[in-house]
Amino acid sequence: MEGYWQLLPELIVMGVAIAALFGELLPGKDRGTALLGAAASTAAAVVLLFWGTAEPLFGGMVVADETARFIRIAVALLTAVWLLWLSGRNMDGERRREAVALALFSSAGGMVLAMSADLIVLYMALELSTMPAYVLMGYKRKDIDGLEGALKYFLLSMLTSLVMLYGLSFIYGLSGTTAYSGISLAETGPLGIAAAALVMVGLFAKMSAAPFHYWAPDAYAGASAASVAFVSTVPKISGMAAVVRLVAVIAPGVSSFGILLGAGAVLSMVLGNLAALPQSDLRRLMAYSGVAHTGYLLLALTSGTQIGYGAVLFYVVAYAAPSMAIMLISAEEGPSLTDLAGLAARRPAIAWAMVVWLLSLIGIPPFAGFFGKLYLFGAAIEGGLVWQTVLAIVMSVVSAGYYFRVMREIFFGDVPESPMQVERSVSASTALALCVLATVAVGIGASPLMNALSFSFP
């Protein structure tokens, strides 16, 4: 029984998720439900902050180490920020309480995913964190485009999940156990490579890495921007944590694994950045830029070092906060780039917050994205991936091209005759302010985070 207490944060989140399904009966209705969800997520993070870590639980199926703690806190806090924002806004006119429940379910799944050290737990947690995401993406029930995007996402994601499951079954067959501690693909020959490749297909698709990224732009462009804000960030953090753990287990034995990851990295960086350049819908633009950022992450993953793994987890958090915030602004102002025109005059504080987030995504110091890229690229060079790193760095200059297009709209775009007036909302503004704070503090105050991820430069 002792072990269950370590899952208290997940239990809090899960409990409130179930309560949120009955939001009609809660005080404050939808708004109260969202605030309650935010409070529960924050409480989960606070518990984690003070609770610390434990020995592996349930016979090693779940590990509650420092890395897991960091990722669980990040997932919980980002969910809290999203729910706080939601409490002041709505989901394109749809009622909110199901969105609150879905986000909390997904968040609980993500927190477990960060701790999984067993193939079964991995698969279950992965499904728990993505299943609510399908519904969130199709949240606008009457919108045909949204449903099409959601269906595409659902079908492709299920297909790749099954491919991954197929690969996992091979891994189980080859090593005779589902526990990470017992898995080794060393000296398994072609079958090991095939198993690793099948697993990677699944994970690439979930992470929207090229060449399995095609669902992302369509799904994002069909969905409500508020849904995209959640789905493109929170599950990505926990997913990346799972990828890191899994790769650390199966990569050492398979010689061609690095080539697979490296090819995915290069393809994602180039395709994502170049495809983002001409986009005029902010959701599509962020979808492609998400592919590019996954490419950078895979690059450090390819290095196969402790620094690389730590850098990946650091960067995914540094990426998630600003990109969630940008999608939230898109949800407030409208999905098209031109909807942002004149934002600087309408809402100057938001405009400057956008500048901070965009600069962070480009990798301009002193924001989090810069330090994230510093560690990523440092790890990649350390791992001997010199030309790939040069390519990554050149590609991040290309990314400045499209991020600046967004900035250009904000400051110099042609203001429409009657621009949309966004209502003031204290909770939404607070949520966005927290995103700015995270974007600044994660970079400058990187030291404790690097400690938690137990990575340091030589």
Comparison of 182 and 366: residue with beta carbon closer to another protein: 366
Q: From the CB of residue 141, how many other CB atoms can be counted at a distance below 10 Å?
A: 8
Rounded distance, CA 65 to CA 107, Å?
18
* Nearest alpha carbon to residue 84 among 440, 319, 333, 430: 430
Comparison of 119 and 446: residue with beta carbon closer to another protein: 446
Give min distance, CB of 102 to another protein, in A: 37
Give min distance, CB of 241 to another protein, in A: 19
Comparison of 306 and 336: residue with beta carbon closer to another protein: 306
Q: How far is CA 390 from the centre of its chain?
A: 25
SS (H, E, C) the chain: CHHHHHHHHHHHHHHHHHHHCCHHHCCCHHHHHHHHHHHHHHHHHHHHHHHCCCCCEHHHCECCCHHHHHHHHHHHHHHHHHHHHHHHCCECCECCHHHHHHHHHHHHHHHHHHHECEHHHHHHHHHHHHHHHHHHHCCCCCCHHHHHHHHHHHHHHHHHHHHHHHHHHHHHHHHCCCEHHHCCCCCCHHHHHHHHHHHHHHHHHHCCCCCCCCHHHHHHHHCCHHHHHHHCCHHHHHHHHHHHHHHHHHCCCCCCHHHHHHHHHHHHHHHHHHHHCCCCEHHHHHHHHHHHHHHHHHHHHHHCCHHHHHHHHHHHHHHHHHHHHHHHHHHHHCCEHHHHCCHHHHCHHHHHHHHHHHHHHHCCCCCHHHHHHHHHHHHHHHCCCHHHHHHHHHHHHHHHHHHHHHHHHHHHCCCCCCCCCCCCCHHHHHHHHHHHHHHHHHHHCHHHHHHHCCCCCC
For residues 231, 435, 70 and 197, what is the CA-based torsion angle, rounded to 10 degrees? 40
Give min distance, CB of 131 to another protein, in A: 37
Give min distance, CB of 20 to another protein, in A: 39
List residues binding another protein (CB under 8 A). 355, 359, 362, 364-366, 370-371, 374-375, 377-378, 381-382, 389-390, 393-394, 396-397, 400-401, 404, 408, 411-412, 446-447, 450-451, 455-458
Comparison of 153 and 367: residue with beta carbon closer to another protein: 367
- The CA-atom distances, in angstroms, between 361 and each of 82, 319, 356, 399 are 19, 7, 9, 9
Comparison of 106 and 396: residue with beta carbon closer to another protein: 396
Comparison of 4 and 404: residue with beta carbon closer to another protein: 404
Give min distance, CB of 401 to another protein, in A: 7
Comparison of 229 and 410: residue with beta carbon closer to another protein: 410
Cis peptide bond upstream of 211, omega within 30? yes
Comparison of 190 and 458: residue with beta carbon closer to another protein: 458
Rounded distance, CA 289 to CA 302, Å?
20
Give min distance, CB of 398 to another protein, in A: 9
Comparison of 224 and 360: residue with beta carbon closer to another protein: 360
Give min distance, CB of 276 to another protein, in A: 15
Comparison of 256 and 456: residue with beta carbon closer to another protein: 456
Comparison of 171 and 353: residue with beta carbon closer to another protein: 353
